[in-house]
Structure 1
């Protein structure tokens, strides 16, 4: 396998953008990533991976990427006859697109590959259509299977599963049940979850691309409207729109770029995907398997990692994933957060972008927005939220739901430009 480099990244502002179409968001992210690469157009791109979850709800069920890129091809901004592969994997969609582009280059099949994720989950005045997008992330063929699973797990966690409860969703309930089980088993507290939420809202307040750019004190996070106990609104990712992209290249292509572009290239040390299953709550999740494979492939360990972007669809996820990824013992993730290790200035900054709870979570774009943030940090270009000199960064992104697992998980390890 060849070495692969992230030559350029981009991310639109996340938020409720009813006036922007899928094509508008595609154009914005694509032109920005081309600019970041120092190119006038995308003529060097040999293949593209287009990630999206919700366009079918808007009537475009097939050839989504080809449709969104047609104007760009017509205008000579994207090359003709380039193959485009449409990707869908729930909230892990954009990371799957990245993985495909990485394999293109690592295998030697391509020298330049584009990954882009585009999403609209906010439908003004039509919450049912928004819900339809998310419902695709759980088994609709045999719903009784997960009904039975959650009923049993809810009893074990001391939080009964009620799919008919007002105000929440099955997805928030699954996270809440996992949090309740963790609290019952290890003594994790709601306040620790609130600390993670407050910390990420602080990070997001410094991110000009974040959907929420305000701080939330711990006390306010605890007192906010309950979504599904112990999760409050401040501890949950919002509904929104956005897009993000990355250009991946071989070492040979990188060597031909101007020095200022070469000096910003981020090396991909590993890209790993895993699949979920119905598991016992005491059994490790699929992100642990993905992380262990990524460490083995890269020759790195958790001790080598300097910063993390992880999938905090709820703030409990930060606590849980720190354990799964090898940064805390099982049951000790809450203490790590509580002691301040994961905030800007701490020894292991997590979600300096603001994470999903503050930056936002347009599902088909989320994974690549993580890559964008980590690239900014590794290049020293993150402004007010810039961490100290970091060499190795990790992105963890999960998508869909199978019991207490995600349906898919991505772990990506990146290395800073050598200077």
Structure 2
């Protein structure tokens, strides 16, 4: 990839923010990113804004980004509104980078923000049901149920209370993985415990509490193998990233803390057999990203992956070729994915702990990788990071995610 860099990042703490509007959360993340880059608003030439649920939650459709940023003084420049499920923030980042590569801009801002927490729990969870084809909902549920049917769920392992329908997606993916490789609920709990331990020292995380594997296995069930701590919470929050090309970087004189973008790759799902994980969307994109960057998975120092549940990390660790197929659970149980391990994964605490305001998640992952690569992660800092890997997925179609993004960064 040509010389494109991240020069500023910012994010709010994720969590419940009843006292703050979407505009306020977005402004806070953007202000932090501008300060981080030592820039002013007038330096920004384009804004790429990601948001998924504000149309559903409060009726703001069509010009969501314009409604936020024109009021904040970003006037007269292009503002693009993007939506791609939980991968929306990454798509905003990807399109900002493409704009720089095309020569349309020298500096661009990507922002993801959501206000998702709602007193009406059924409405809150139903926001996720439009992340698959609503005109073919029965077709989609039939596929998910067939995937899940290869393994019997224990009695009492499903919550009687409302939960996101995507938890059944992860149940189905786990069932396929267990049938193929013999993975266990204990391995999923080991991933979860590791992520909650990582979150303890992350001031931006929604939850900062450690759990033992036993605590996690004894927690209230959601749907097998998932218990409550294994699942990302519903969250409010915003994250922002500023990208810049090499010539502008030299002109601004801010090279010292810039992080180079080695690759940013995105794609969509396609029809395949549920058991054919070598053709998984994330694997296909990871192979493209490694090729573009000229590095291999063995060179990755740290990774932030999309663990909307701990099952997600189990599967993506393998799909990203960070270990052999079927070895993701053992990798976590050995401690290889902990801070200080061979390949630290989700040093932020991941979605399970940091929170998951869906359109902000991908950019929050980039925030954490940039923090690690700069050596600024405090007690969570890993030793001598060189290459960071990001994976963010969104929606569901057939047997896999509808969209996904993989990025590689370096100092």
How far is the alpha carbon of 1:151 from its aligned partner? 2.9
Distance 1:112 1:354 in 2: 30
Q: CA RMSD in A?
A: 1.7
Query: Which one is further off, 185-194 or 87-96?
Result: 185-194
Question: 1:185: Cα distance to partner?
Answer: 2.3
Partner of 2:198: 203
Once residues 159 and 350 of structure 2 are traced to their aligned partners in structure 1, the CA distance between those partners, rounded to angstroms, is 29
Distance 1:128 1:112 in 2: 41
| Residue equivalent to 2:43 | 44
- Choose from 320, 335, 339 the match for 1:340: 335
CA distance in 1 between partners of 2:152 and 2:291 (Å): 37
Q: Which residue of 1 aligns with 2:130?
A: 136
2:13 maps to what in 1?
Answer: 13
The 1:345–1:5 alpha-carbon spacing in structure 2 relative to 1, beyond 3 Å, is same
Q: Does 1:253 align with 2:248?
A: yes
The equivalent of 1:403 in structure 2 is: 398
Deviation, 1:346, is: 0.4
Report the equivalent of 1:158.
152
Residue in structure 2 matched with residue 27 of structure 1 by the alignment: 27
**SS at structure 2 position matched to 1:254:** helix
User: Which residues of 2 match residues 74-223 of structure 1 at below 5 A?
Assistant: 78=74, 80-123=75-118, 125-159=119-153, 166-223=161-218
Is 2:250 the partner of 1:271?
no
CA distance in 2, matches of 1:119, 1:248: 21
Taking the TM superposition and a 5 Å limit, the aligned residue runs for 1:347-366 are: 347-366=342-361
Quote how far apart the aligned CAs of 1:312 are.
Answer: 0.3
Stretches of 4+ aligned residues off by more than 3 angstroms = 157-160, 162-169
Q: State how many pairs are aligned.
A: 406
* CA drift at 1:165: 6.5
Q: Contact (CA 8 Å) 1:116, 1:244: kept in 2 or not?
A: yes
Unaligned 5+ residue runs, structure 2? none
Does residue 1:388 correspond to 2:383, yes or no? yes
Tell me the TM-score normalized by structure 2: 0.96
Q: Secondary structure at the match of 1:50?
A: strand
Q: Which moved more, 1:184-193 or 1:6-15?
A: 184-193
Deviates further, 86-95 or 30-39: 30-39
1:56 maps to which residue? Answer: 55
- SS of the aligned residue for 2:284 comes to helix
Partner Cα separation in structure 1 for residue 367 and residue 339 of structure 2: 18
| 2:301 corresponding residue in structure 1 | 306
DSSP 3-state at the match of 2:238? strand
Distance in 1, Cα, partners of 2:405 & 2:144: 24
* SS of the residue 2:99 aligns to: helix
- Would the aligned equivalents of 1:90 and 1:400 in 2 still touch at CA under 8 Å? yes
- Judged with a 3 Å threshold, the aligned counterparts in structure 2 of structure 1 residues 236 and 164 are, in CA distance, closer, same or farther, namely closer
* Deviation readout 1:326-372 (Å, 9 max, x if unpaired): 11111111111111000011010000000000001000100000000
Distance 2:399 2:392 in 1: 15
The whole-number CA distance in structure 2 between the counterparts of 1:197 and 1:267 is 30
- 2:307 partner SS: coil
What is the CA–CA distance in structure 2 between the aligned matches of 1:26 and 1:356, rounded to whole Å? 19
Contact 1:2 1:105 in 2 (8 A): no
Moved more, 403-412 or 358-367: 403-412
Range 373-382 or range 151-160, more displaced:
151-160
